[in-house]
A = this chain, B = another copy of it.
């Protein structure tokens, strides 16, 4: 057990944690955008709608494709910019496995972690309160105050174990 200094800048200095349950379920998109300190634009409304109601675990590219079906003039950079804002404020969670494009998911819903099959790519979401508690204990023990964590389990799913 050791402590050392990284020569890189921190990922994010965000500290404001979002409630772990989906207390935002009935909050309209506009309100959420304002809560981020941003102006309400057509692009952001479009993107946020898909982020909240579309498929889970999407990439920026995937979001972009759905967005442009409804409005072909939305730029790729805008999707990236807004996803970044959302993840900085923990409204979406950024999941990165390996060197692949980041995947995002609406985070205001109940917290969970992921169990991923490295062969077929299937993803199981799970929640385990004991692990969450143990994480807090570990942080306490080292004088840290936790803001977030990444727990990703990798292995082979049942099917893939039989080739």
Contacts and interface: CB of A to CB of B under 8 A. Distances in A.
A131 interface: yes
Copies in the complex: 2
A105 B123 CA distance: 27
A34 interface: no
Contact of A154 (B98, B138, B148): B148
Contacts of A152: 149-150
Interface in A46-104: 55-57, 59, 62, 94, 96-102
Nearest to A148: B154
A3 interface: yes
Given A9-B121, A117-B10, A120-B10, A154 B158 contact: no
Nearest to A141: B126
Given A4-B56, A115-B139, A118-B11, A156 B149 contact: no
Interface in A130-161: 130-131, 134-135, 138-139, 142-158, 161
13 contacts: A1-B124, A1-B126, A4-B123, A5-B121, A7-B121, A8-B100, A10-B117, A11-B100, A96-B96, A124-B142, A128-B134, A139-B153, A149-B151
